[in-house]
Amino acid sequence: MIRNRNVRFKRRGQALVEMALLVTLLFFLISAAFDLGMIFFAYQGIANAALEGVSYGSMFPRGDPNNPSSTISEWDDEIQLRVRNEPFIPSSTTSQVRLVNLQDLDANGTADSEAVVDTYIDIEIKPNDHAQPFIDEGLTPCSDTNRTIELCDIYVTVRYDYKPFFFLAPFMGAGTFPIEVTRSMTIRDVSSP
């Protein structure tokens, strides 16, 4: 009888140890799944921001349509502004849920400086497939946005450092996860008369 009682106590202790190990493993798996889902949503937010920037840049390749003397650097600044403010829709009737802080692309907890923005948002204009005959003739489309712009594509690359929610991620070598999205579009000039 005493022997039977010791076996029951050992089995209870064994079940508690197994439960503790299983709960720990499940906690890690659920936390990892949560962070993977959040990384996916962050990727979608960055992709939408890049698409907003490339859409604006493809429609107004000369800069501000109301200011014909605007420069290319002002155009880059406007595209960056569009990218960083894409998900924000000021309205008193809708609540804003933002999974990606586009004002803090390097995830250091402070608003980004202009140098950080220039590093994390890249804007390029490259000749597309239709430009090849002009390139073969020695012309350089896309070097001047006032000429042969319909032969050019604009590329906007947005980088973002995702900071995981799981509190042990930094101890596991995952301080931040870099996310990068590039979107491109053929320039279609609607700003010229």
Condensed to tens digits (0 to 9), the pLDDT of residues 32-45 reads 888 888 889 889 98
- 22 versus 192: which is more confidently predicted? 22
Task: Specify whether the CB–CB gap between 120 and 160 falls below 8 A.
Answer: yes
| Secondary structure of 45-105 as H, E, C letters | HHHHHHHHHHHHHHHCCCCCCCCCCCCHHHHHHHHHHHHHCCCCCCCCCCCCCCCCCCCCC
Q: What is the pLDDT of residues 26-77, one digit of tens each?
A: 888 888 888 888 889 889 989 999 999 998 888 766 555 555 555 555 678 8
CA–CA gap between residue 168 and residue 96 (Å, rounded): 29
State the virtual CA torsion across 124, 79, 100, 32 in degrees, nearest 10. -10
Question: pLDDT digits over 121-160, tens only?
Answer: 998 888 877 777 766 676 666 665 454 556 778 899 999 9
Q: Where are the domains of the chain?
A: 2-186
